[in-house]
Amino acid sequence: MMKRTLTFLLSLLISYGYAQNPDSVTIRKIYNEALSNGKSYEWLRHLTKQIGPRLSGSAGAQKAVDWTKQVMDQQGFDRVFLQDVMVPHWVRGAKEEAFIHIGKQKTVVPIAALGGSVATPAKGIEAQVIEVKSFPELRALGADKVKGKIVFYNRPMDPTKINTFEAYGGAVDQRANGATEAAKLGAVGAIVRSMTNVHDDNPHVGGMRYGTGVALIPTAAISTNGADLLSKSLQENPALTFYFKQNCETLPDAKSYNVVGEIKGSEKPDEIIVVGGHLDSWDLAEGAHDDGAGCVQSIEVLRIMKALGIKPKHTIRAVMFMNEENGLRGGVQYADLAKKNNEKHIAAVESDNGGFTPRGFGIVGKPEQREKIMAWKPLLAPYGLTEIGPSGGGADIGPLAQTGTVLLGFKPDSQRYFDYHHTTIDRFEAVSQRELELGAASMAAVIYLLDAYGL
C-alpha cells in the first residue's frame, strides 16, 4: 500500500513539474489557440468545396496553388513563394464501364482506372478471368493459362493488422505492379481489388507503374463488393467473361508549383524546419483527408506561432508539395533546390495520414536524435501523443533524408483512413473539425520543441 501511495505521489509531482514547465505552458497555449481560434477547418472547406479535385497538371491543381499562396500571403508570413516543378498530366476521360458476363446476363460492377494506366481499345476489352492472390501464384500458372485473359488480383488488406497502414503496405503491390506482372504472361488487362477493408461500392484508385520491356495493358480498381461478386461468380462459372472500358490518357508533362511560406528564424535563419503536406489529390475526390488536411494543418502551424507571438530561432517553412499522388516530383524538386541553394534543413514534419485523432509521430534519424525527440513524451502525452518512436517520416520529405534531415511523420489514428482513401467519399464532411485542429496543434507543439532545442 505504501509503495502504491509513493508511486502515485511521485507521478503527481512529475505531472506538476511538467505543468509548471515553460514548455508545457507554451504547448497548452498552442492547443488553446488551435481549438479556440483555429483556421484550418474553414481553409479545408474552401480547398475541398470551392476547388475540389486537384490531380497534378489539372486546372484544379493550379487553382489550389493560387489559393494557398494567397492564404499564406494574407497571414503575413515573412516570405511566400512558388517553386516550379514539371509534373505528370494524366486524365481519366469518360467514366469507366464494367460488367460480369454470364450467358445472356450482364451484371454491372464499379471500377475506376488506376492512375497512369493506358486506355482500353475504344470498344473495351472482354475476356475470361484468372483470379490470383499473389504474384508467385500468378507466375506458377504460366503464360499458357494467362495469355489472352484478364488477371484479377483479389488479395485483401489483412484485417488483423491493428495499424491499417501495415495492412495497406501488404496489399498495395497488386495495384502498383499488377499490370506489369500480368502483361509478362500475355494478359490483356488487370483488375485489382480496392485497397480497403470496408465492403462498399467505391473503387479506391491510386497510382500504378509499368515496367520496361512489357506490353502496356489497361488496369483498374474494382470495388470490394464488386471483387467479392466477381470472385463468387468465378467459383460458380469459371468460364465467365469480364468486360471493361476506360478512356484515360497521359498528356505531356505540365508546369506546376510547390507553394512555400515561411517565418524567418530570429537566431539561426539559415537553418530550416519544414512542416508540410501534399496539395494534389486524386481526380475523383475532394481530397479532404488525403491530403487537404495535412496542407491546412501545416499552414495553421505558422499561423499559431504568429498569433502567440512565438519568434522561432530557426526558419519555419510550410510547404505544399505538388504531385505526391502520381510522381513525387514536388518532394524531389524541393530537396534538389535545397541542395542547390545550400540550405540546411535540420528537421521536416509531414502530415499525410488523414485528419483523424492525433496519436504521435514516427521518427527517421540517428539513434541519439530519436532519443532526444522521444524524451519530449511527458510534454506531449497529455494531448494523446503517446506513439512517438522510430517509424516512417513521409513521402514528400523523404528526399531530404539524404542530406541528414531528421524526418517526422505525423500519426493520427489509422482505423478510418482507408475507408476514404482515394475515393469519391474523401470529402470535407468526412473530417472532424476538432480532430483536424488537434492535429494542427500537435504538429505546432512538435515544431516548437524542435525549434527550441534543435537536433
Closest CA to 90 of 263, 249, 301, 264: 249
In contact, 57 and 88? CB cutoff 8 Å: yes
Separation between Cα atoms, residue 243 and residue 111, nearest integer Å: 11
Question: DSSP of 290-332, one letter per residue?
Answer: IIIHHHHHHHHHHHHHHHTT---SEEEEEEEES-TTTT-HHHH
Q: Are strands 241-245 and 97-102 parallel, antiparallel or unpaired?
A: antiparallel
Cell of 112: 475506376
In contact, 19 and 378? CB cutoff 8 Å: no
Cell of 254: 505540365
Of the chain, the end-to-end C-alpha distance in Å amounts to 42
Strand partners, 220: 113, 191
DSSP character for 115? B
Q: Is 324 a catalytic site residue? A: yes
Residue 387 C-beta-side C-alpha neighbours within 13 Å: 15
Question: DSSP of 20-75, one letter per residue?
Answer: HSHHHHHHHHHHHHHHHH--HHHHHHIIIIII----TTSHHHHHHHHHHHHHHHHT
Handedness of CA 337, 306, 445, 437 (dihedral sign): negative
| Beta-carbon contacts of residue 398 (< 8 Å; ≥ 6 apart) | 331, 407
Active-site residue, from 324, 325, 350, 435: 324
* Interhelix angle 22-37/293-307, nearest 10 degrees: 120
**Cis amide linkage into residue 291, ω under 30° from 0:** yes
Q: Which residues are catalytic?
A: 324
